[in-house]
Amino acid sequence: MFTLAFSGISFLGISSAISAKAADELQTLKFKASEKPVVNPGKGWVVYGGFPKSHCQDALDVCSSAYNRFCWSELEPEEGKFNWEPLEKALKEWDAAGKQFGFGVMCESFHNYMKYTTPKWVFDLGVPSIEYDGWKVKGQVALKQWDNPIFLEKLKNFIDAMGKKYDGDPRISCIDIRSYGQWGEGHLGHLKGSVRLTPDGLKKHIQIHLDAFKKTRLMIPWGETFLNPVYDWAVDKGVGIRRDGVLGNSNGSELIRCKGKVPSFGEWFSSYQEHIKNDGSRYAWGDKLEDRILDDTVRGAFTYQNLGQYDFKDLFVKEKRPFIDKLTNMMGYHFLLDEITIPRQVKSGTDFEASFKWENKGLAFIFIPCTVVAAIIDKDGKVVTKCEAKGCHPDKWAPDGKQISETSSLNFTAPAGSYRLAVGLFSDPKRQTPDIRLGIEGETSGNWHVLGKIDVE
């Protein structure tokens, strides 16, 4: 436990060191890193499939987002007639649970329960097709030519409609570009007789999505090595990369191209239960699951990782919770405030300087908007007034463990009196309360981190 010494008064949770040169005017408040997991938007664990009630509370406690894949045929069963209900239901339920939701729309899926993943009406227009036996359906109909002009025209119309409805929706964490290949993974998998796309052909698919989504983050699954130049091009366009098959046919190294530029997503090859628990075998993951994940995946620049798989039965989170908590803070960004130097007393409506020292203890930059806001709160925890700390730039806080020093001008207009200074991080300044938490100990009030005492005259 640590304390703030201030004029003979102790405040639980903060330690203070007063500069000898300016002891009468300034106070330097120092903070200790917390060991507890901090769940924040734009990073971390992702639960797959279903709705909140289908996951245990432990999983909901550590995840930042949920995820699911949809078939184009279920969202546009007739040309120009859109059925957004499956997507709306997921967004509504996960938002009510305090989580974001990510998704992808597939043009083909081996696991589909329906004959058509791309809508039947597309093929009725003359788009060439193939048939193959899927997991549940024999004679599934799939695309033969992924660059067919009729298919691309209808795909663009659908993506444009989806973009018009959902671009910038704060409930969405990211949207996958899954319009090419088996499961939308950028390879042909079971699709014998289907013609693989050229690099230029894949660029067209990506550009269709970029034209429709200007605000919401797009991700594309890595598919084949010969397409690497396209993935590099996509990264330069702001598209994140995901690798489906980690700890199975990949060590996640395909995601290194994202580091420092865009978010990345690692999906396990299969579930913890299937690879670790069945018959007591450990299969391809070896004897040290923790070391394998840390060495091969998270340290490979992961921003997101799925918490299991579609058939996940909550076993992983129950058996590996300490390890999961550790990775919660490692994935993506993890911000600390080491110290702040501020005056002991300020004048209402007058600018004053605040000097911050931050750290990013995560493995990646932050890839969502982030604004630092300072506030003064009363003894009941109510925010009296607040102002943006414009000199703070979280998007530049590098994940290298080095301390970042920033100075910002603050200004509070409030009745004279004694208050407590607080700081909060916002993904959207229009929010009423902060939604990005710091990994420090001490008092919080509505996600505001209480820093120490400040008087207004």
Q: How far apart are CA 352 and CA 329, in angstroms?
A: 33
Q: How many domains does the chain have?
A: 2
Range of the domain at 259: 44-330
Same domain, 269 and 179: yes
Same domain, 393 and 311: no
Residue 278 has pLDDT above 60, yes or no: no
* Cut 0.85: pTM above it: yes
| Residues 321, 450 within the same domain | no
> Are 32 and 62 contained in the same domain?
no
Mark whether 291 and 419 lie in a shared domain: no
> What is the helix (H) or strand (E) element at residue 28, kind and residue range?
strand 26-30
CA distance 199 to 203: 6
| 35-93 pLDDT, tens digit each | 999 999 999 999 998 899 999 999 999 999 999 999 999 999 999 999 999 999 999 99
Among 353, 412, 419, smallest CA distance to 385 is for: 412
Question: Are 395 and 305 in a shared domain?
Answer: no
My answer on whether 62 and 144 are in the same domain is yes
241: which strand partners?
A: 220, 264
Q: 29-52 as b/e, with b when 16 or more CB fall inside 10 Å?
A: bbbebeeebbbbbbbbbbbbbeeb
Judge whether residue 457 has pLDDT over 50: yes
Q: Are residues 103 and 232 in the same domain?
A: yes
Residue 296, helix vs strand vs coil: helix
In a domain, residue 151? The reply is yes
> 158 and 295 share a domain?
yes
Share of the chain above pLDDT 70, in %: 88
Where does 152-236 show beta strands of DSSP type E?
A: 172-176, 218-221
Instruction: Confirm whether 389 is domain-assigned.
Output: yes
Does 309 fall in a domain?
Answer: yes
pLDDT of 372-429, one tens digit each? 999 999 988 899 999 999 999 999 999 988 999 999 999 999 999 999 999 999 999 8
Q: Which residue has the tokens 């230029």?
A: 200
Summarised one tens digit per residue, pLDDT across range 203-231 is 999 999 999 999 999 999 999 999 999 99
pLDDT in tens, 295-341: 655 565 689 998 877 665 678 888 888 888 988 999 999 999 999 99
Judge if 359 and 229 occupy the same domain: no
Burial of residue 406 (CB within 10 Å: 0-12, 13-18, 19+) is middle
Picking from 296, 330, 364, the residue at the C-terminal end of a domain is 330
Q: Is residue 324 part of a domain?
A: yes
For every residue of 56-101, DSSP letters joined together read: -HHHHHHEEEEEEEEEHHHH-SBTTB---HHHHHHHHHHHHTT-EE
Residue 167 maps to which CATH number? 3.20.20.80
